[in-house]
Structure 1
């Protein structure tokens, strides 16, 4: 009986050994692939829809996916840092440009990585084509940034690294798609006996979505290239005046002075202009140039606030007081000492008042044209306004409005830098976003301090817009309040039927010229009394 059971056991062991040898003959030595197969090796080829038929059976494919996950995690961290840097600049990460281009390149890289992981197991022949197109235009973008000194200076190392990383990700995605496609074909041939050429509806949908997304990314890279080309064209426009490095040489601001000091005008003040919402070259400077040529004034200087006109963007956060300090530093570097009559309009009056409060002995007159009262800083700093500015900044690298203006409307370099299209610039948007972020905190506190320290006997003139007062009685009350920031009000005039930019109508220009003459004389008398 024992010999019977022993013989039966030996026969079963032999059969199991033969079955194992047959399996090894069919599938070879056990590998990472065969370990995923069902234990019954005699069932024949698998169905193409079997979950075991997957390119993820291959170690090389799984490694590629792990690398892509690590890339996505690292890119997301960088994307977050760049997002935060728009509002608060981390140490060593300030670029003299807006920072929106670096954010755009990192967004492209992160989107491409997320797209590749989402449809990882569904490779397509269209992906390498559009991925190659994307990589090509990203390379062109990189060359435009690196080759042109002005653009390279504005974008800094952060912008260069961002576009290089986007290129690396694009090339990697092409390699990954090819490796997954090859692995998928090999596993289908090995496990099902043939390559599967059919696609399910879900796979077709995945390929369509991925292709459309890549087409959009490629178009974005093309638009960024076109915008960079416009920036290169604009960089050839040289400013009137000089750019001075300020704030530890972290950025440059543009300052220009017109007229020479002579023995005849040595005692006359220099007019120091501060623009309103837009570049001073598009607002007050043309009027002041006419006043200079007609002999009303003998000399004037004008200044581009950080991010506006020919000036670089400053690190964030950046308040109006910091802008006043930048102006002070630029004037010192230019060896300009005054005395000054500060002339400003709109929101520029906030900046000129801060400058005047910090240069009590040098400022001999304050001349404000329909100035913005600090009570309205809550509108400047509203969250809805800030969100719109941020959204405009995010899409600004595409340059849709700038491209349309250049192609369809014939906008020139002057229009885009210091003219009617300056508001479309990514640097301008960043400057306005910075203005928005600290308007009700830092800037409001600085203006309150300026009221407390302003020299009481400084000559003051205010000219207001009749239209603005008609629109809002509160605006008129605020204009009257500003006429009392010093104890020496020379005049407060309301130009009826004049817009916010009072100098654009004949009556406004005539009154401004008359009051400017009077201010120069009063300033000279004020200096003589000291």
Structure 2
């Protein structure tokens, strides 16, 4: 009986440890947005509120350093789309229109009122453009960081992969796992992979949604574009980079009050490679918003 008891206790202990490792404490708060919970983490005080949406495969932790700087001048919030970070898995399809609606509900539940300065990285740019189009009176600025363009796959002649298994590490591998528990990357990798796969499966739908909700309010817009190529080693790599730059320049046309900045020493993850550029752009939009208020 003693041996069985000890074994049972050990099972309970290891199960408890595993459970603790699987669910590191969320730095922010989680709110029910319709039968599933989403995580949002805010720091700082003041208006406008900066809302940051990470790129495909990334979670809120990839933007903690940017948040720390931005929070010195105003309230700054990072959140996790369903399936990423500390948010539950959400319903399909994972298109930008669905995601922007989820963000709307999340902000209401968290009592985070506008005006907002929106920051969208990569795929997050889709979501923030639709959110801005649907809430023009609440938006005082928009920052698109090497953001997706609705025509990018046609222009670049890229077919979305049917099977991401071989690409999971390059898509999901967290870039700032040292800020968190060392096992966060392993614990959350499968969920993040599934979330990224669902977003990729709905990418064409998201592109069409952005085309439909293309009209932005008359707000300050900053486009930040990478300066380092992401297709190195490919025969058509240089050609693709030129197309990417032309698509980024096209985003500049979304507002008559736009700026286009190049991060010459960065690849796609500008927030990690040249964070000072992102911090400066956010500060500019916040300052402009305060003059307008």
Of 455, 468, 485 in structure 1, the residue corresponding to residue 229 of structure 2 is 468
Query: In structure 2, the residue corresponding to 1:338 is in which secondary structure?
Result: coil
2:89 is aligned with 1:302 = no
| Closer, same or farther: CA 510–387 of 1 in aligned 2, 3 Å | closer
Please name the residue that 1:432 is paired with. 196
| Closer, same or farther: CA 377–313 of 1 in aligned 2, 3 Å | farther
| Closer, same or farther: CA 413–499 of 1 in aligned 2, 3 Å | closer
Of 180, 200, 216 in structure 2, the residue corresponding to residue 454 of structure 1 is 216
How far apart are 1:288 and its partner, in Å? 2.1
Tell which structure's C-alpha radius of gyration is larger. 1
Of 251, 261, 267 in structure 2, the residue corresponding to residue 499 of structure 1 is 267
Of 12, 26, 41 in structure 2, the residue corresponding to residue 256 of structure 1 is 41
Contact 2:70 2:76 in 1 (8 A): no
How far apart are 1:380 and its partner, in Å? 11
* TM-score, normalised relative to structure 2: 0.80
> Is there any run of 5+ residues in structure 1 with no aligned partner, and where?
1-139, 148-225, 394-401, 403-409
Query: In structure 1, the residue corresponding to 2:162 is in which secondary structure?
Result: helix
Please name the residue that 1:238 is paired with. 25
How far apart are 1:495 and its partner, in Å? 2.1
2:102 is aligned with 1:335 = no
| Closer, same or farther: CA 381–269 of 1 in aligned 2, 3 Å | farther
Contact 1:307 1:430 in 2 (8 A): yes
| Closer, same or farther: CA 427–512 of 1 in aligned 2, 3 Å | closer
| Closer, same or farther: CA 328–381 of 1 in aligned 2, 3 Å | farther
2:214 is aligned with 1:445 = no
CA distance in 2, matches of 1:244, 1:496: 39
How far apart are 1:238 and its partner, in Å? 1.2
Please name the residue that 2:254 is paired with. 485
Aligned residues: 270
Contact 1:253 1:304 in 2 (8 A): yes
How far apart are 1:414 and its partner, in Å? 3.3
2:286 is aligned with 1:520 = yes
CA distance in 2, matches of 1:416, 1:454: 41
CA distance in 2, matches of 1:436, 1:280: 16
CA distance in 2, matches of 1:448, 1:475: 18
How far apart are 1:364 and its partner, in Å? 0.7
| Closer, same or farther: CA 312–369 of 1 in aligned 2, 3 Å | same
Question: Bigger relative contact order, structure 1 or 2, given CA contacts below 8 A and separation 6+?
Answer: 2
CA distance in 2, matches of 1:308, 1:333: 19
Tell me which protein shows more strand as a share of its residues: 2
> Is there any run of 5+ residues in structure 2 with no aligned partner, and where?
1-7, 231-236
How far apart are 1:373 and its partner, in Å? 1.4
How far apart are 1:413 and its partner, in Å? 6.7
| Closer, same or farther: CA 329–229 of 1 in aligned 2, 3 Å | same
Contact 1:386 1:436 in 2 (8 A): no
Please name the residue that 1:386 is paired with. 162
How far apart are 1:254 and its partner, in Å? 0.7
| Closer, same or farther: CA 487–347 of 1 in aligned 2, 3 Å | same
Tell me which protein shows more helix as a share of its residues: 1
How far apart are 1:376 and its partner, in Å? 2.9
1:481-502, CA deviations, whole angstroms, 9 ceiling, x for partnerless residues?
111112211x211122222222
How far apart are 1:231 and its partner, in Å? 6.0
| Closer, same or farther: CA 413–366 of 1 in aligned 2, 3 Å | closer
- Matched ranges for 1:76-475 at <5 A: 232-247=19-34, 249=35, 251-260=36-45, 265=46, 268-292=47-71, 295=72, 297-376=73-152, 382=159, 385-389=161-165, 414-417=181-184, 419=185, 421=186, 425-440=189-204, 442-451=205-214, 453-455=215-217, 457-468=218-229, 471=238, 472-475=241-244
Query: In structure 1, the residue corresponding to 2:89 is in which secondary structure?
Result: coil
